[in-house]
């Protein structure tokens, strides 16, 4: 029995995001969607992000295009990835979602140097953002039918798992319903909050050394 936080990255996607939202609503689970700015810039993407927010999920900035690791870009390019996404998320009501969230692109869950760019770190600290990393990447993006066993194994062995899933159209989220049922059966509890060791910046305050990321 352990705590589980679910996050859904790289959406919104017309099919996958609606399916995920329906499933989370059925199970009464609240999560966070780390969206790509370019996907929210379309009318249907915006509708889905607003729907997620309206149903009590949190929305976080996951860069505009997911083009690369921020630390490997110029400061201008890294800031553009961040700022353009903030512009299309400016409708988020701070009364509804009091914490401003950002997750950098890892690339198959990779952390280490290059994950963050110092210029973006300045944005996060000045803007009071929380930077959300992860401790479970079961690989639903590359293994749509086999990710669930790895995700369950992580949730069984960790006191608090912060799981990265993806609301993208590869069919992986067709297994979300049975994943959630299994977690419940095994007595795990869901929370929308994040384990502190996965958040190097909390509300703009740096709480972990960032040298390993920049």
Stretch that binds Zn ion, among 8-16, 82-90, 109-117, 191-199 (CB under 5 A): 8-16
- Whichever of 100 and 105 has its CB closer to Zn ion, that residue is 105
- Which residues from 87-116 bind Zn ion, rule CB under 5 A? 105
List the one residue from 4, 5, 7, 9 that touches Zn ion (CB under 5 A): 9
Answer yes or no whether residue 167 interacts with Zn ion by CB under 5 A: no
Answer yes or no whether residue 17 interacts with Zn ion by CB under 5 A: no
- Whichever of 9 and 167 has its CB closer to Zn ion, that residue is 9
Please work out the total of residues on this chain that contact Zn ion, with binding judged by CB under 5 A. Answer: 3
How many C-beta atoms lie closer than 10 Å to residue 91's C-beta? 11
- Work out how close the CB of 77 gets to Zn ion at its nearest, in angstroms, rounded to a whole number: 17
Stretch that binds Zn ion, among 6-14, 88-96, 124-132, 153-161 (CB under 5 A): 6-14
Answer yes or no whether residue 10 interacts with Zn ion by CB under 5 A: yes
Q: Which tokens hold the place of 28?
A: 């009464």
Stretch that binds Zn ion, among 10-18, 72-80, 81-89, 117-125 (CB under 5 A): 10-18
- Whichever of 9 and 13 has its CB closer to Zn ion, that residue is 9
Residues at the contact surface with Zn ion, assessed by CB under 5 A:
9-10, 105
């Amino acid at each position: 029995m352990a705590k589980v936080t679910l996050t859904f990255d790289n959406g919104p996607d017309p099919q996958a995001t609606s399916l995920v939202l329906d499933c989370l609503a059925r199970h009464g689970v609240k999560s966070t969607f780390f969206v790509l700015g370019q996907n929210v810039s379309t009318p249907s993407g915006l509708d889905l992000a607003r729907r997620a927010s309206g149903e009590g999920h949190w929305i976080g900035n996951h860069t505009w295009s997911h083009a690369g690791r921020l630390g490997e870009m110029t400061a201008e390019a890294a800031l553009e990835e961040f700022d353009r996404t903030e512009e299309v998320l400016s409708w988020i009501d701070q009364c509804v979602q009091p914490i401003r969230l950002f997750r950098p692109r890892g690339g198959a869950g990779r952390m280490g140097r290059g994950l963050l760019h110092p210029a973006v770190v300045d944005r996060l600290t000045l803007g009071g953002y929380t930077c959300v990393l992860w401790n479970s990447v079961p690989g639903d993006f590359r293994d749509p039918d086999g990710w669930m066993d790895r995700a369950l194994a992580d949730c069984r062995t960790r006191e608090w798992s912060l799981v990265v899933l993806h609301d993208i159209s590869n069919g992986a989220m067709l297994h979300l319903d049975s994943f959630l049922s299994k977690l419940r059966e095994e007595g795990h509890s869901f929370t929308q909050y994040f384990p502190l060791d996965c958040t190097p910046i909390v509300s703009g305050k740096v709480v972990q050394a960032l040298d390993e990321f920049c």
